[in-house]
Amino acid sequence: MAEEAAHDLMAEGDSDNTRLAYRAAMRYWAAWFGARYGQQMALPVAVPVVVQFIVDHAQRSTKAGLEHQLPPEIDQALVEAGFKGKLGAPALNTLMHRISVLSMAHHVSKQPNPCVDPAVKALLSKTRKAYAKRNALPHKQRALTKEPLEAVLQTCDDSLKGKRDRALLLFAWASGGRRRSEVSEAVFDNLHRGDEGAYLYTLASSKTNHNGKIRPEDVKPVVGSAAVALEDWLQASGISSGPLFRRILKNGKLGTDGLSGTAVRDIVKARCALAGVGEDFSAHSLRSGFVTEAGRQNMPLQETMAMTGHRSTDTVAGYFRTGAAQVSAVARMMDSGKQKSDKA
């Protein structure tokens, strides 16, 4: 059932990463159900089962501290079988994602959806509020803004791998915060030279462009230091067709295969670790970092969205406003008044 549901969900997904996330969530549901009830899961899932899933995985306050309902022996079995990374309750975001995936599985299978039942919706709402009252904010990957990115770039030497990683990081960040799937799927054939050493890259497929039609907003500039790094990588690698960013083999030679989305993530994390800027960065940090930096530098929101490809203002505004808040003149009114008083 999990495999069939995952197959249906794959048709709904628009990237390898999304498909993998859907598949992992459905496999976890099937494994948990089997361990909890001793039988194979089938759609539709009953409402009490979804309620049990929530209380098994959501922490609640008790006199003994924070607890969740998942029996220790089942928790241990799920970890040993590789369905969980570690013992204990998952992050709230993980729980919500798994509920969302189950809901989508019922939707695409045209089955009665237990996730929209009033009892489930009310429990999820109260769960979010309970976490908020405990100041347990949803985890977000840190934004890789300009300063830490510059430190990360310093770790990229003049070896073939160093040139690749520098070009990859700058291409992903400076062209609008490209998603890791967009970086891994980038091909030389969609890269064109512009004026004065600049490049233009055409996104033939992205999260907001499912059918591959070429639109003006899908042409992204790669200019300045990003263009220099890309040119350096192309000259060193000799790439003239196929995947733009490729594996470097153990013998130091260039491979023919493009990088996977996981490899892009690993490159970002490894370089951040080398730079000593922190361990809580990932590939998405390039995208959120671009938007946050745009807010810090008071760049127009619409121009920023044109670069990132965001369609919804709500989606991008959170990162943008976080960056803008750090340089807010309104937030510095007390200091501003003090400076004027000192001058007087």
Alpha carbon 237 to chain centroid, angstroms: 28
pLDDT-derived band at 11, boundaries 50, 70, 90: low
- Report pLDDT for 251: 87
Q: Which two tokens stand for residue 100?
A: 């969302």
SS3 (DSSP) at 223:
coil
**What are the backbone angles phi and psi of residue 46, rounded to the nearest 5°?**
-75, 150
**CA–CA distance, 328 with 323 (Å, rounded to integer):** 9
- Report pLDDT for 139: 59
Which segment of 8-12, 62-66, 330-334, 339-343 scores lowest on mean pLDDT? 339-343
Average pLDDT, the chain: 86
Higher pLDDT, 108 or 244: 244
Query: Which of 200, 49, 207, 28 has the alpha carbon at shortest distance from 115?
Result: 49
Q: Which residues contact 86 (CB under 8 A, 6 or more apart)?
A: 79
pLDDT tens digits along 29-56? 999 999 999 999 999 999 999 999 999 9
- The verdict on 206 and 268 lying in the same domain is yes
Average pLDDT over residues 136-158: 86
- The verdict on 119 and 225 lying in the same domain is no
pLDDT-derived band at 222, boundaries 50, 70, 90: very high
Does residue 330 belong to any structural domain of this protein?
A: no
pLDDT-derived band at 339, boundaries 50, 70, 90: low
- Report pLDDT for 271: 96
**CA–CA distance, 188 with 92 (Å, rounded to integer):** 40
- The verdict on 198 and 113 lying in the same domain is no
pLDDT surpassing 70 at residue 207: no
pLDDT surpassing 70 at residue 16: no
Reported pTM: 0.67
- The verdict on 169 and 294 lying in the same domain is yes
Report the length, in residues, of the chain. 344
Q: Domain limits at 105? A: 2-133
pLDDT surpassing 70 at residue 333: no
How many domains is the chain built from?
2
- The verdict on 243 and 297 lying in the same domain is yes
Percent of the chain with pLDDT strictly greater than 70: 82
When computed from its CA atoms, the radius of gyration of the chain, rounded to whole angstroms, is 23
Cβ neighbours around 293 below 10 Å, total:
22
**CA–CA distance, 337 with 221 (Å, rounded to integer):** 41
pLDDT tens digits along 243-290? 999 999 988 889 999 999 889 999 999 999 999 998 788 998 999 899
Cα distances (Å, whole numbers) of residue 70 to 23, 84, 145, 292: 22, 13, 39, 38
pLDDT-derived band at 309, boundaries 50, 70, 90: confident
Which segment of 10-24, 66-80, 129-143 scores lowest on mean pLDDT? 10-24
Does residue 281 belong to any structural domain of this protein?
A: yes
- The verdict on 188 and 226 lying in the same domain is yes
Query: Which of 271, 295, 294 has the alpha carbon at shortest distance from 281?
Result: 271
**CA–CA distance, 136 with 61 (Å, rounded to integer):** 12
Q: Are the C-beta atoms of 50 and 43 separated by less than 8 Å?
A: no
Higher pLDDT, 11 or 241: 241
pLDDT tens digits along 159-197? 999 999 999 999 999 999 999 989 999 999 999 998 888
Does residue 287 belong to any structural domain of this protein?
A: yes
- The verdict on 299 and 196 lying in the same domain is yes
CATH no. for residue 22? Answer: 1.10.150.130
